[in-house]
Amino acid sequence: MTIHDFANNLEERNGIFFAKNQSQISYPEEGNSQCAQIEENSFWFAHRNECIAALVSKFAKQKPFFDIGGGNGFVAKKIQSLGNETVLVEPGLVGCLNGQKRDIKHLVCSTLEDAGFRPESIPSAGMFDVVEHIEDDVAFLKNIYHYLEKNAVVFITVPAYKLLWSHEDVYAGHFRRYTVTGLADKLKKIGFQMLYSGYIFSMLPLPILLTRSLPSWFTKPKPGIDLNQAQATHANKGFLNDLANKLWNWELEQVKNGREIGIGGSCLVAAKKV
């Protein structure tokens, strides 16, 4: 597989394919650098990865996989380890360089549009906490549909519930939060068939509401995020760690068995182009 089999507006430099022109994206420039300092020791990124991998193994086993807006390649590395030939498509240079350090074999520093991906060329794709950064999410999902092969599967995670909106969403460049039903309705209207739709992080909505959302109703946003606080929030330690891990293991088994979880901090869906 070569990248030029899929896109025609790219040039390679130092092992990374760059678009000949770049569009603006709604994501803070330092976002990938901050995530890179958190990902490896984060229960949140680890559990999300396991749930994503379970769905990819179920619905797109061994298919070439395009991780669109894939940041530092944390998910792409996991999918690559499953045996899927994996392409990290990330418009941020820092993310692509971090993906290169993680030995992702195929790196595209671009959006799909700027790269010139061909219609109906992508066998399977993922967008993990990406769609909420797109102002016109329906138009974006229609574009994704356009690029996918017939019967290709797309995998998506997004933050859940408008009620949980906080200053962190504003800083991250989010336009909205979702429900599983709302996201599935958008996908079905475009022409996707739902294969799986549920929530993950079932214990997080109440803590997010109490520690992020409610304070945001009464305070002004601060510039940037407190990285030390973010690292502490994501750390896989503390007296509740064993209980939380049991819950994450239960959630993973639910996803593996195709059972949909009814509440959580993130939506997780898989849908097929038909």
What pairing do the DSSP bridges indicate for beta strands 86-89 and 148-159?
unpaired
What percent of the chain stands above pLDDT 70?
90
Where is pLDDT greater, at 111 or 66?
A: 66
Using CA atoms, how far apart are residues 43 and 244, in angstroms rounded to an integer?
9
Site of tokens 């990406």:
130
Using the predicted structure, report yes or no on whether residue 234 has a pLDDT greater than 70: no
The pLDDT, as a whole number, for residue 238 is 55
Tens of pLDDT along 53-88? 999 999 999 999 999 999 999 999 999 999 999 999
Using the predicted structure, report yes or no on whether residue 230 has a pLDDT greater than 60: no
Using the predicted structure, report yes or no on whether residue 37 has a pLDDT greater than 90: no
In this prediction, residue 166 has a pLDDT band, given cuts at 50, 70 and 90, of very high
Q: CA angle at residue 66 from 63 to 71, to 5 degrees?
A: 140
Using CA atoms, how far apart are residues 123 and 70, in angstroms rounded to an integer?
17
Burial level of 215, CB count in 10 A (0-12/13-18/19+)? exposed
Q: Averaged over 105-109, what is the pLDDT?
A: 97
Structural domains in the chain, CATH included, are: 3-273 (3.40.50.150)
The pLDDT, as a whole number, for residue 231 is 47
Tens of pLDDT along 191-218? 999 999 999 999 999 999 999 999 999 8
What pairing do the DSSP bridges indicate for beta strands 86-89 and 16-19?
unpaired
